[in-house]
A and B are shown apart, each in its own frame.
Chain A
């Protein structure tokens, strides 16, 4: 089994009927020269690497950019088309006055499984007291949060809001809130490791491929950026497989990770068990 915890369904065919909207998504997210893809093409790629399920991430940038890079409604619609394949996440712009209502509807009526936030693009400090009601709602509803962390290729998205240390206060205040700092918070891998060692509710994912080939970058990540045993020894329950599609292709990351030496239990955790625990909070 393989679960991809990091997909932006920007070009998923069924939600690409409006060309202007698709162009807005591309420009806002910072991805170009790609176009709508139908499910047969997407799932052909899944089949190559044995991908079985994926988390779909929207982004609400209503107050900062004036729209959504895939909306909660669109994620809900995609999930209804393939409920056996997708875990739908919600998003909410923390600056909007009706943020809690949007989120409550997403969790309680739309069946969405977690919350996606991007402090860089949405321009907020994760430790800001104004975020507390959102975190409290996620905790009450047992929904995890996936934060963008580290380098962001999106335009107008300062990295200062996405440094791992910006999230430590959240981990201290909310030990019962599961949250993922995505992309291994690259380039701040050691700071990311520090947080995971100290806070068992803090997760990350493998959605990074910024400077090298997949084989090179995954080997660097697991054996040089970190000590080669750190994942297995120190936080084997906190790293999830994520591809960051459409920026990176899942099967190439999987191919590269298959070559990184690790014990079977750690690989199982990485490929699917940690994702299931992150989503539900229950032991797998």
Chain B
């Protein structure tokens, strides 16, 4: 059995850490899947899916680490007009932060519930907002 749901979120800032933990847990509970796996996958290349503790200090440390690792101003190649878009790229920072955070996470599902640690919250990380974003939640099992 496979159930696919989409979480839609309009980010309101250039960078944003949006906690989607409850929405993912609800989707799993309502999916009818008792035992299996849930995959949380972003539909974009300038967002990330993070699993970490939902504390403001942890969020700030993650954001600071990513900013140091991938600064806004650096001689990125992806900063020019793209004829196939008719628009200028200029979001390399978002792409690279997305690479570092990854585009998905997985959790086991047992007895219709996600099995996870108490500190494991799930974030949609925005790195090129504001934009309307989509996250796919696929629950697979029996």
Contact = CB atoms under 8 A, between A and B. Distances in A.
Contact of A33 (B14, B85, B129): B85
Interface string B69-93: 0001100100111011111101000
A265 interface: no
Interface stretch (A65-73, A110-118, A246-254): A246-254
Nearest to B81: A210
A215 B73 contact: yes
B120 to A, nearest CB: 29
B62 to A, nearest CB: 21
Contacts of B76: 213
Interface string A21-54: 0000010011111100110110011011000000
A90 B60 CA distance: 47
Contacts of A230: none
Nearest to B93: A213
A209 B86 CA distance: 11
Contacts of A32: 84-86
A251 B14 contact: yes
Contacts of B88: 209-210, 247-248
B23 interface: no
Given A44-B11, A213-B90, A252-B90, A33 B130 contact: no
B116 interface: no
Range for the number of chain A residues in contact with chain B: 20 to 34
Interface in A205-221: 209-216
B90 A209 contact: yes
B131 A41 contact: yes
A248 B12 contact: no
Interface residues of B, number: 22
Nearest to A208: B88
A41 B8 CA distance: 12
B80 A33 contact: no
A211 B84 contact: no
A252 B117 CA distance: 39
Q: Which of A213, A247, A251 has its CB near the most chain B CB atoms (within 10 A)?
A: A213
A213 B84 contact: no
Contact of B81 (A38, A47, A48, A211): A211
Nearest to A249: B90
Nearest to A31: B86
Contacts of B129: 44, 48
Given A211-B80, A211-B81, A212-B80, A29 B10 contact: no
Nearest to B14: A48
Contacts of B83: 153
B13 interface: yes
A247 B130 contact: no
Contacts of A216: 79
Given A40-B10, A41-B130, A45-B130, A213 B79 contact: yes
Interface in B43-75: 72-73
A153 B84 CA distance: 11
A212 B79 CA distance: 5
A31 B13 CA distance: 24
A52 B88 CA distance: 23
Contacts of A247: 86-88
A209 B89 CA distance: 10
The 5 closest A-B pairs by CB, nearest first: A31-B86, A44-B130, A213-B79, A30-B86, A247-B87
5 contacts: A41-B131, A44-B12, A44-B129, A47-B12, A210-B81
Given A31-B86, A209-B88, A209-B90, 13 more contacts: A26-B86, A29-B86, A30-B86, A31-B85, A40-B10, A48-B14, A48-B130, A209-B81, A210-B81, A212-B79, A216-B79, A246-B87, A248-B90
